[in-house]
Structure 1
């Protein structure tokens, strides 16, 4: 049995507690239906099922001519999600990521992990270091200090850990990965959820279902629209959750991911949260949320993290240089910045 197959069979009910991007979106939280099957019209059934996973609620909606086939495909997609979350979970000491972080190297990497790592290193170069999976020691340091001492780490503590944050010190050849500095660690939290959603969508597509919408805590994958060219509608929620949606986007195909300081934070002022600047070790404070549209959720996930780290105008320019991508940024000053290509 391969390492990937082994982790697919292990405790499918245990899901990855991603401390990376949870984002926001339509109908999140307790309002999500657990299960719904209705006749959308004479030819299609609309089937929606929701389960908890990846630190949030995952809702899968499909439209298909066969209710039974739709339900079977959704069930299989949730199994796929469980398999991949176990595989990419850094909190499990027996997962490939857990083993890598403990031993500093990993051979014969499972293909899914290899694809995520390769894309992560690509975005590290593309963003000039704004996206960096080696920030794991920084996230753990900040979390530990707030849990143990109710305060952020000192400058000296940050400096000691910052030397370990360097994705260029990761040797990776597609199968083997090794850290060049003792004490390094990776977190795939800023990209893995997107990859998992993409794979769930592909699983459903391969079963002949065209109309798909997956919402995992605001990370969205859409395919096929509803029917007859009708798009899915996705609301970009205001970070304060009390105000109106920042925008409502119509989508037939594509993906959306949101990064923000409001879902996972360590202090009441939300100055210290799960996203950290790899260069300074501090949480970025210039934006409240960043939403990115791309062709797939994995890319949108990584790009939204990178833009959140950058200054808003620099982030907008960065996204405008990437074909097929667009972004909406809400600054800390409540200034709304939309890139070219954002569907205003």
Structure 2
């Protein structure tokens, strides 16, 4: 198991529930906890019998295993790993194409700030900071320039027939959008099974209806910066922060890269986005971490998201929209 992301979203409504596998009963809820795509995950189902909820959770676990075989960078035989290894993938899974299409939309909306082809920059920084005595500033300019040469959506062609890289050394990471997509898929599965009071947490969150008592799900977003409390019902939320995966103890070098510079973004310490779907919330929260404040508003307005809460590098939290 690889748990690589620090969690900023906590589920106040689920406090005190046990986490026995595969599903634990506590009060009026049945809850499963585990790990998906390298981060902690959970399903909280209310207003259903234990047997019914456990059966549905079993279906979700089968689907999660299937989706990890598409998107995981940890599994050597996943579709994404094979694409990165060979530079092409014939007859790709439809889910991979669908996520790449969503990524391309957010890439365009953000003027390139969101770019799933930054994996060469991640690999470079990971190798650099794993070296004893590494320069705390980060890789040198020549190394960054070489990695940046392999970055860019213009080098990625995809369709239902195949996916092809046209730049040497290209690689894709979908960690900034796939968790949101997986969250949506699991929410859709449970909705199709007739559940109406569910909180899906696959690294990003989706509230399927309110709690069984009619009150919204209460979500707490903690540090860095001001804490935030959100009420969710038929909404999704995602939070991105460089401190989720830092490369060094200072946290200045982290996994959210500015494709224009090849360095870790310094624009926002944390961004939380509320949207109707978790795919949008996930990708947009990453993009807004990279964009300067004056450009973030334009990108947000064009995205269709409901609200964004941006903790800038300095100063108070900025809110865009109203969920």
Q: Same fold (TM over 0.5)?
A: yes
User: d(CA) in 2 for partners of 1:106 and 1:340?
Assistant: 39
User: d(CA) in 1 for partners of 2:287 and 2:221?
Assistant: 19
In the TM superposition, residue 336 of structure 1 has moved relative to its aligned partner by 0.6
Identify the match of residue 276 of structure 1 among 257, 266, 271: 257
SS in structure 2 at match of 1:333? coil
SS in structure 2 at match of 1:262? helix
Q: Paired residue for 1:165?
A: 151
Tell me whether 1:25 sits opposite 2:6 in the alignment.
Answer: no
Tell me whether 1:314 sits opposite 2:302 in the alignment.
Answer: no
Identify the match of residue 181 of structure 1 among 167, 172, 176: 167
In the TM superposition, residue 32 of structure 1 has moved relative to its aligned partner by 6.9
Tell me whether 1:260 sits opposite 2:241 in the alignment.
Answer: yes
Say if 1:123 and 1:32 are closer, same or farther in 2 by CA, change over 3 A. farther
Identify the match of residue 119 of structure 2 among 124, 136, 148: 136
In the TM superposition, residue 317 of structure 1 has moved relative to its aligned partner by 3.3
Instruction: Flag structure 1 segments of 5+ consecutive residues without an equivalent.
Output: 1-13, 41-45
Q: Paired residue for 1:235?
A: 220
User: d(CA) in 2 for partners of 1:22 and 1:109?
Assistant: 31
1:296-311 matches, cutoff 5 A: 296-311=277-292
Per-residue Cα deviation, 1:255-304 (whole angstroms, up to 9, x for no partner): 00010021210112111001111110000112110001111111111000
Q: Does the CA-based 8 Å contact 1:295-1:324 persist in structure 2?
A: yes
1:146-157 matches, cutoff 5 A: 146-149=129-132, 150-151=134-135, 152-157=138-143
Q: Does the CA-based 8 Å contact 2:218-2:229 persist in structure 1?
A: yes
Q: Does the CA-based 8 Å contact 1:32-1:50 persist in structure 2?
A: no
Tell me whether 1:326 sits opposite 2:312 in the alignment.
Answer: no
Q: Does the CA-based 8 Å contact 1:23-1:260 persist in structure 2?
A: no
Q: RMSD between aligned alpha carbons?
A: 2.1
TM-score between the two structures when normalised by the length of structure 1: 0.85
In the TM superposition, residue 93 of structure 1 has moved relative to its aligned partner by 2.9
User: d(CA) in 1 for partners of 2:36 and 2:75?
Assistant: 15
Tell me whether 1:108 sits opposite 2:103 in the alignment.
Answer: no
User: d(CA) in 2 for partners of 1:175 and 1:106?
Assistant: 9
In the TM superposition, residue 66 of structure 1 has moved relative to its aligned partner by 2.2
Deviation >3 Å, runs of 4+: 30-33
Bigger shift: 207-216 or 320-329?
A: 320-329
Q: Does the CA-based 8 Å contact 1:131-1:302 persist in structure 2?
A: yes
Q: Does the CA-based 8 Å contact 2:110-2:291 persist in structure 1?
A: no
Identify the match of residue 205 of structure 1 among 191, 206, 218: 191
User: d(CA) in 2 for partners of 1:164 and 1:236?
Assistant: 35
Q: Paired residue for 1:11?
A: none
Q: Does the CA-based 8 Å contact 1:23-1:259 persist in structure 2?
A: no
In the TM superposition, residue 27 of structure 1 has moved relative to its aligned partner by 4.4
Identify the match of residue 64 of structure 2 among 81, 92, 110: 81
User: d(CA) in 2 for partners of 1:264 and 1:33?
Assistant: 27
Tell me whether 1:52 sits opposite 2:35 in the alignment.
Answer: yes
Instruction: Flag structure 2 segments of 5+ consecutive residues without an equivalent.
Output: none
In the TM superposition, residue 183 of structure 1 has moved relative to its aligned partner by 1.3
SS in structure 2 at match of 1:270? coil
TM-score between the two structures when normalised by the length of structure 2: 0.91
In the TM superposition, residue 92 of structure 1 has moved relative to its aligned partner by 2.9
Bigger shift: 74-83 or 197-206?
A: 74-83
User: d(CA) in 2 for partners of 1:299 and 1:59?
Assistant: 20
Identify the match of residue 106 of structure 2 among 120, 123, 126: 123
Say if 1:322 and 1:118 are closer, same or farther in 2 by CA, change over 3 A. closer
Per-residue Cα deviation, 1:83-134 (whole angstroms, up to 9, x for no partner): 2112211233322111111211111001111111111122111211011111
Q: Paired residue for 1:99?
A: 82
Bigger shift: 224-233 or 138-147?
A: 224-233
Per-residue Cα deviation, 1:137-182 (whole angstroms, up to 9, x for no partner): 0110011001014231100111111111111121112331111112
